C-alpha cells in the first residue's frame, strides 16, 4: 500500500469506509484486552513458583553470618542478598542497601528524604523556592508522578537513539542550580527500550552540576531483562564511571527483582557511594528496624547466585521474545511504509514505544478502548501527562497471552490507520469550500 500522504481524498475516503467496517466488526466481538501496564504474564509468574518451596518449616533460616532472619535487625540487608543484588547491579556488595518489595518505593523515599532533610548536608528541598528535575521523554509515568507529587518542576529532555539529548542535559545541569535530579531508565528504557550509548553514560559521569546536591536517578529496572541471549545491550556501569570521573556521589542506582521473581513480592535495592549510603542510613534507621530478611533469604536460596538468576531470566525471555516479535511483525505488516508512524523494536525490557502522526495518539488510544483494548493512556509517557505532539503510545506486550496480544495489536494497527486517515482528511482543503 502506498503512503497515506500520497493518497487522494477519494482514496482516503474509500479507505476510511473500509477501515470503519473492520472496526465495527471488532467492536461486535466485545473484547476485553489489557495492555496498559508492564506486568509479567501468568506463564512468567509460574516460572518462580519453586521459590515457594525453598523455605520450609524444617529450614534453617539463619544466614551466613549467623543472623536469624526471623527476628528483628540488619538495617541494610543480609550479606548474601547484598551479594546477589550487587552482582545483578554490577557493583560491590558494600555499595548497596537492600530494601523492601519495591524500587519505586525506594525512589519515592529518596525524593521524600531530600525534601525534608536534604542531600548530604545540603538545604532540604522543601526550604527552596524552586526544585526541578530533568525528565527524558518519553519516559516512565510513575517517575514523573513522584516529582509532580512533591511539586518539583519537570523539564522535558528529548530522547535520542543514544539516550537523553546530552547537549541539553549538560547545558541545563551546569547552568541551573535548581535542577536537582534527572530520571533515567538507562537500559531497555521505558518505553522505548533504548540503552544509553557508552558516550552518553560517560557524559553523564562527567556532568558538572551547578547544584552540589544534583543526583542522577539511575533506575536500572531492566538490567538483566534481555530478550536475546546473544546481542544483549551493554551499559557502562555508572557508579564506577562516576568515580573515575571524580563525581563518586552524583548517582543513585535503583533495581529490584520485581520482574524476575514476583512483582510486589520481590526485593529492591539502592546502590550508591559510601557518602550517600551513610547519608541514607541516617534516615533509614529512623524509618525502620529492617526489611524482610526471610524474603531476602528466600530469593538467595532460590536463585543460588547471579548465574542462577541469569538462567532464570532466559526463561522469561523465552516467553517474552515471541510477544515482542509478534508486535513488531504485526506493526510491520500492517503499518510499514504508510508514513503514518514509527515504533521501536528493542532487544530487552518490557516496552515498545510507538509514535503516530502528531495529534493522533489520544484518539488512537480512545478508539482502542471503545473496541475493548486498554492501552497505556496517551500522554502518560510525558510529565504532567502532556505529550506536546500527542503522538507517543507505550506498548506493553508482556501480560496478554500471545493469541490475545496478536488480536490486540491488529486492532491497534487498525485504530492507527483509521485515526490517521481521519486526521489526513481533516487537514485536506474541503472540496467546493471557498
**Contact positions toward its own copies, by CB under 8 A?**
37, 39-40, 42, 45, 48-53, 55-59, 61, 68-73, 100-102, 104-105, 108-109, 112, 115-117, 124, 126-127, 142, 145-146, 149-150, 258, 262-265, 283, 286-295
Nearer to its own copies, 142 or 202 (CB): 142
Closest contact distance (angstroms) between CB of 54 and its own copies is 9
Residue found by looking up cell 506493553 in the block: 396
Closest contact distance (angstroms) between CB of 150 and its own copies is 7
Nearer to its own copies, 39 or 323 (CB): 39
Residue 126 is given by DSSP the state: G
Beta strands at 268-271 and 251-256: parallel, antiparallel or unpaired = antiparallel
Nearer to its own copies, 75 or 212 (CB): 75
Candidates 125, 126, 256, 104; CA nearest to 183 is 104
What is d(CA 324, CA 222) in angstroms, rounded to the nearest whole number? 15
Sign of CA dihedral 142, 146, 151, 154: negative
Residues 6+ apart with CB under 8 A from 228: 317, 321, 347, 348
What is d(CA 392, CA 402) in angstroms, rounded to the nearest whole number? 23
Q: Which three cell numbers stand for residue 58?
A: 524444617
Nearer to its own copies, 48 or 195 (CB): 48
Closest contact distance (angstroms) between CB of 325 and its own copies is 23
Beta strands at 179-184 and 215-219: parallel, antiparallel or unpaired = parallel
Q: Which three cell numbers stand for residue 318?
A: 523465552
Nearer to its own copies, 263 or 379 (CB): 263
Closest contact distance (angstroms) between CB of 60 and its own copies is 10
Q: What sections of 118-258 are H helices per DSSP? A: 141-149, 166-175, 198-205, 238-244
Nearer to its own copies, 73 or 304 (CB): 73
Nearer to its own copies, 287 or 345 (CB): 287
Closest contact distance (angstroms) between CB of 124 and its own copies is 8
Environment class of residue 212 by beta-carbon count within 10 Å: exposed (0-12), middle (13-18) or buried (19+)? middle
Closest contact distance (angstroms) between CB of 146 and its own copies is 6
Closest contact distance (angstroms) between CB of 259 and its own copies is 9
| Other CB atoms within 10 Å distance of the CB of residue 208 | 12
What is d(CA 199, CA 384) in angstroms, rounded to the nearest whole number? 30
Closest contact distance (angstroms) between CB of 433 and its own copies is 48
Residue 291 is given by DSSP the state: -
Backbone angles phi, psi at 179, to 5 degrees: -80, 115
Nearer to its own copies, 246 or 264 (CB): 264
Amino acid at each position: 500500500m502506498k503512503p497515506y500522504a500520497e493518497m487522494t481524498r477519494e482514496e482516503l475516503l474509500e479507505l476510511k469506509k473500509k477501515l470503519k467496517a473492520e472496526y465495527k466488526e471488532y467492536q461486535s466481538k466485545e473484547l476485553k484486552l489489557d495492555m496498559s501496564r508492564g506486568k509479567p504474564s501468568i506463564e512468567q509468574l509460574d516460572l518462580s513458583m519453586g521459590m515457594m518451596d525453598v523455605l520450609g518449616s524444617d529450614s534453617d533460616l539463619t544466614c551466613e553470618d549467623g543472623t536469624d532472619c526471623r527476628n528483628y535487625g540488619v538495617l541494610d540487608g543480609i550479606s548474601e542478598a547484598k551479594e546477589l543484588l550487587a552482582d545483578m547491579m554490577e557493583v560491590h556488595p558494600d555499595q548497596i542497601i537492600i530494601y523492601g518489595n519495591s524500587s519505586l518505593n525506594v525512589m519515592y523515599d529518596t525524593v521524600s528524604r531530600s525534601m525534608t532533610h536534604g542531600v548530604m548536608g545540603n538545604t532540604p528541598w522543601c526550604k527552596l523556592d524552586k526544585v526541578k528535575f530533568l525528565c527524558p521523554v518519553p519516559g516512565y509515568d510513575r517517575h514523573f508522578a513522584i516529582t509532580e507529587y512533591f511539586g518539583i518542576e519537570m523539564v522535558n529532555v528529548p530522547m535520542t537513539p543514544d539516550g537523553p539529548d546530552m547537549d541539553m542535559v549538560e547545558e541545563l545541569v551546569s547552568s541551573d542550580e535548581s535542577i536537582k535530579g534527572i530520571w533515567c531508565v538507562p537500559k531497555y528504557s521505558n518505553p522505548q527500550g533504548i540503552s544509553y550509548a557508552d558516550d552518553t553514560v560517560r557524559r553523564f559521569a562527567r556532568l558538572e552540576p551547578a547544584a552540589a546536591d544534583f543526583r542522577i536517578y539511575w533506575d536500572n529496572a531492566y538490567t538483566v531483562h534481555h530478550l536475546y541471549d546473544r546481542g544483549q545491550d551493554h551499559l557502562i556501569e555508572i557508579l564506577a564511571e562516576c568515580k573515575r570521573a571524580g563525581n563518586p556521589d552524583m548517582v543513585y542506582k535503583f533495581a529490584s527483582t520485581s520482574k524476575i521473581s514476583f512483582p510486589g513480592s520481590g526485593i529492591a535495592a539502592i546502590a550508591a557511594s559510601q557518602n550517600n549510603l551513610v547519608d541514607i542510613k541516617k534516615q533509614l534507621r529512623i524509618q525502620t528496624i529492617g526489611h524482610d530478611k526471610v524474603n531476602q533469604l528466600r530469593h538467595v536460596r532460590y536463585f543460588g547466585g547471579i548465574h542462577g538468576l541469569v538462567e532464570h531470566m532466559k526463561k522469561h525471555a523465552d516467553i517474552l521474545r515471541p510477544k515482542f516479535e509478534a508486535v513488531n511483525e504485526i506493526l510491520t505488516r500492517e503499518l510499514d511504509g504508510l508514513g503514518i508512524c514509527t515504533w521501536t523494536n528493542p532487544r530487552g525490557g518490557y516496552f515498545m514505544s510507538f509514535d503516530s502522526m502528531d495529534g493522533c495518539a489520544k484518539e488512537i488510544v480512545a478508539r482502542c478502548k471503545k473496541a475493548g483494548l486498554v492501552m497505556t493512556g496517551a500522554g502518560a509517557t510525558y510529565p504532567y501527562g502532556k505529550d506536546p505532539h500527542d503522538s507517543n503510545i507505550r506498548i506493553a506486550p508482556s501480560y496478554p497471552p500471545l493469541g490475545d496480544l496478536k488480536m490486540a495489536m491488529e486492532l491497534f494497527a487498525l485504530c492507527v490507520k483509521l485515526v490517521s486517515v481521519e486526521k489526513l482528511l481533516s487537514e485536506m482543503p474541503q472540496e467546493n469550500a471557498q
